[in-house]
Structure 1
Amino acid sequence: MTAGNPDPLRQALHEISNQLCLAVDGRVDFTIRAQAADPDIEQLVLLINFLLDSVARLLDREQANARDLDQRVAERSALLKATWDTLLDGLIVIDAHGTILEANPAARQLLAADDSLIGRNIKAFMPEPYAREHDDYLLRYLQTGEKRIIGVGREVEVRRRDGTQIPVRLAVSEICVHEQRRFVGLLRDIREQRAQERALEERRQAAEAASLAKSRFLASMSHELRTPLNAIIGYSELILEELDDGVPAENSRSDLQAIRDAGRHLLGLINDVLDMSRIEAGQTRVHREPIHPAELARAVGAVARPLVEGNGNRFALELDTQLPILATDSSKLRQCLLNLIGNAAKFTQDGVVTLRVQRVDDAVLWTVSDTGIGISPEGLNRIFDAFVQAEDDIDRRFGGTGLGLALTRQLIELLGGRIEVESRLGAGSTFHLFLPLSSTEEGEGQ
């Protein structure tokens, strides 16, 4: 730089200074141009241009980084907001005083509350005694650090805005924001889980009851099978002894009849078990045919009358004057009616057993009633269960396998009908069999 000519230098520096200020304010690329032809000034201009170009590039990179950072922050914020809004579990943020600061949509729905949730104290949604104890617990934690819920998940009840209480799984964590303590509660609705647990427990209890019932059935069945078998073996040995002696006794005929009756009884027991097994295996077929209800009722009455009267009872048959032809499986219907009449005769002493047949709307109603011991309300709840007697001591007092009524219900349902019962202890029982009419022709069954 020439010391003898300061005015051009001063003028050049002044011009450079102005351009530099403008360039820095505008953050734009520029090139300083000096009017002086002095080599020293030209060299200074080149140096300044280099420095300014470097600064401009640095500013551009900073702006790009800032834009990239803003985009990433926006994406992260959008992700957090979407997570917050769509989370299936409820999230609630409270301060050190228990005031609700934030709550996601799932929490509002869980507590049946809207925007009025914000600003309320969290204990408003706690049942007693937890609501009453919450302030003391929070204060104790802040003072001593003693934890009961924070950091430990547990199942609790929450009180919704409408006053109802529901079970939730609660997990609480602590965070610090701008040196302020905040507590975040995660609430998971476990009503469905509780319902599944109850259903599982009910199934377990039902399985245990079924297992116990089958065990009792096997014990009862062993007794039921031994009785006719012992009769068959005993009377057969008597007859063989008489034949060996060469002098048949006068009561050989009655002994043979006893063997026949015991054999029929044994066959009936086996048939019940086999019928139940076939139905449960889906191997039972229905063979429908037109029948006259009155004729079937009379045939059933003829078979059942000796059984009923053998226990000191009177058998009554009541028929509507006009009964339609019914398309059904007569053998299965006959089996159901004989099961019901047999039960009525067994549990009735010196009373009346009645078979009534009538038309009710679009069905034929078969009713078997008796004046026997009746059934308790508890017994009615399980009377159609397999291997179960109405009362625990029925099998000891009256015998039986507990299959008759269960088999009857399944057979009637196979025929497209239903069975109902009404009874009171000491006032007898009444069983109703409803069978829908056939879509074919109708006629009189008399």
Structure 2
Amino acid sequence: MCLTLVSSRVFEELRRRGSGSRHAGGGGEGERSPRRECAMTIGATMKRMIRPTAAAGVTRDPVLFRWTGEFADAALEEKFLRANLNDLRARVRATLYGCYVFVIWGAFDLVTHGPTQLFFLVMTGRLAALLLLVAALKLFRKPGQLNGLFLALTLSQFLVATIAPFSLWWDSTDYSTGIMSIVVVLFAFYVGVPTKLSRNLAASLVLTSGAILVAPALGNYDPATLLQNVLLLIAANAIGVQIVRASNRLRREAYLTMHQQDELNEQLTHEIDVRREAEQAMRASEESFESLFFNAPQPLALVDPRSLEVIQANSAAQVLVGYERDGDGDSKLNVSSFFPNGDVVPSLRMVAESGGRGAGKEVELIRLDGTRIWVAVSVAPVGFKGRRSVLVGLQDVTEKRHQLDTLRQARDMANEASRSKSEFLANMSHELRTPLNAIIGFSEALQNELFGPVGSPRYREYAEDIHDSGVHLLTLINDILDLSKIEAGHFKLHEDEADLNPIVSSALRLVRHRAEKADITLNCVLPDPPLTVVVDERALKQVLINLIANAVKFSHAGSSVTVSAGLRSDSLRISVADRGIGMEADDIPRALAPFSQLDGTLSRSHEGTGLGLPLAKHLTELHGGTLSIESAPDVGTTVHVDLPIECVAHRLDRDTA
């Protein structure tokens, strides 16, 4: 039907144009030749044939499809062919059956012409075409052998295209009948052989050209019939190309649709699996939450932030608020009834709205029996069974608050006792200074015999002992008074520039008499050129006196005490080193505590109140420095006073002075 329609349309066009030419008049340059007229007719007809097909939706996509209807992407085309390998092989088998008919048709040649050499040559071509198809099916079975399969199909097509025209007219078959047979072969090529459209078209052109070229050799043919047959062959090729293009495109679009559907199914399956896993995880999480919630030792409750009703509460929370489950069922509890001051309700609603957290707020809670306790409330937003809830954690801090109150009262009492002690020591020191000054003054008068001889030399010795004891006692009182001021925060430094060397020399001079009595040698190693420091001169001298006196007191007879000073990268270090009894590293903190000595027995061998090192440490820290001790038993002790480098005003350079 398609061929008849095409032929009738072509000849109608020819008749229409021929009549038009006759009516227009003949001759001249405007007269068209029959060949040109034929070409124009064929072109117009083919345009009208192809345009409706394009309008029907078989236009090639410039991005996705080639003009042949195949995928433009080679990798995608390869995937399509691999996916349709079984269909491809089934179409090859159908082509093989057609080739069987093509080979069997050679029997008519044998009957007509006998076993001539030409017959065997043609029969060899028929068998070669058949063997190529058999080889395509048997040898190229795997997806990676598609190129070999298509090559075998193409070679078989070219053999058929070469032999078919010759065999049709070899036995003097009518030319028009042969043309119709060739048209059938052409459609068999396009529809049946599953090779590339370009290869199908090449084989069809070979067959068409052979049919056209063999016509003059037959001798008896009508030009009009020849033209009709030529147009018929061209139309057959055009229709075959459009059929293959449409088929290729439709099959590939179906493949894309199936592929997209498979991807969608996989995605849906994946999403279903993910959702199933999420639901399972959510159920497991809820079960874990409920297990932890009900078995937690800390009181926990789930609260509706809108109504403030308790959704669930674990046993610890029920015990805390004094709730007992009755036989009629659970009675609804409201959070606001436990916190009458309204401290918790705003926090619950704010946490539910903002998604934040609240922790550690201590409020008063009224239990169901009316007793009041203190609890620390922590809140956090949670989702429970699809609705927004607030998890409330409670911790009974009543005992802790009682302990804190007790500790606070004890601290206040200790501070008051410390202030009383400091005031007592200050007052006592002030009251003792007046008689001590009188005792020291009178003993000096007796010692120097200002008002005449005292008689016996023993009185002079007694006066000297009285003077030394008074000075020692006054020194102790001054230390106690200074330490009390420091602890009370009333000790003020009066810093000014002073030379370091005179301060050290003055401290050594005040302790030298005691050192000579103990047979201790005092050494001094000071920086050269001297340093000018910004310190409270009296306080720094007091530090050095205490450290040197302490070193002399704990040194063996015949040993030495060395005072040294020097600059470091970030400090000024003053060190007092002795070779005395020393002490363990664990005893150093005790030695720095006020009123403490390592030998705390009544029969201790070294006098003193234990204020020397603590007072020196406090005075050093008031300057922004540190006091450290290095000591070892029977080796000696070295005390380092490190003052900030900012305390050094400048160096006195002799060369530039």
Q: What TM-score does the superposition give when structure 1 sets the normalisation length?
A: 0.49
Relative contact order, higher structure (CA 8 A, sep 6+):
1
- Greater share of helix: 2
Q: What TM-score does the superposition give when structure 2 sets the normalisation length?
A: 0.35
- Greater share of strand: 1
